[in-house]
Amino acid sequence: MRIAVICSLEYEINKLREFMDNIYDEEIAGTEVLEGVMGRHSLFLAASGVGKVNAAATAQAMISEYTPDLVVNIGLAGNCTADLPVGGAVIATELCYHDMDLLVMEGFKTLASRFATDLAIQALAKDVLTTMNVPFRCGVVATGDRFINSPGLREDIVRRTGCLCVDMDGAAVANVCQRNSMPLVAVRVLSDDAGDTATSDFSFGAVQYSELAAEIVCRICRSLYA
């Protein structure tokens, strides 16, 4: 199986290198891509950089260049729940934008506001997180070009989207995958509470939680059929 793994930070990529063989690098569309083998699968890893445009550009470049069978989008997010701890995870059932209002244009054929993920790989991700004893929920991930560090902003986004967490790239990757009829699984590790201490909490835990995210990807990939 050919699997494209897209994240926003280098931390996940650096950890995933430890689980791969026959590694080499190349550059496509200005993004460094790490290619290698993990068990029976060929993996293509890229850190897109922060933000929706970077994520979308990287996703399209990787789909066009490598024609993967599956896209895995992994990364960190701000917690919007009361029952998950920092260090817990969200498996995305769908992703949406929290900073883009398409309400009056919902009927236009070329526009969509929510993007679903692959149900079969969602189920596999649930099994992986359960085995790892990582607390998790399944639900909506909301994406926008802003780091959320305000309880007021967080609650407004939850009210409008029903999200469990907020990130800065996931819906853009999901949007591109939908346009390419590409199966997607997206998992977010919660690095902060998207509130007043979010900035310092993220800085403190980014490496640790990115390494957890990388381990989740590794286990998902190893659990997949050939």
Q: Which residues does the annotation mark as catalytic?
A: 12, 192
CA 185/CA 174 separation, integer angstroms: 9
Beta bridge partners of 34: 25, 45
Task: Report yes or no: 107 and 129 within 8 Å, Cβ to Cβ.
Answer: no
Q: State the CB neighbour count (10 A cutoff) for residue 133.
A: 6
Task: Report yes or no: 201 and 62 within 8 Å, Cβ to Cβ.
Answer: no
Element containing residue 179 per DSSP (H, E): helix 170-179
Type of residue numbered 79: N
- Give the length of the chain: 226
CA 8/CA 156 separation, integer angstroms: 24
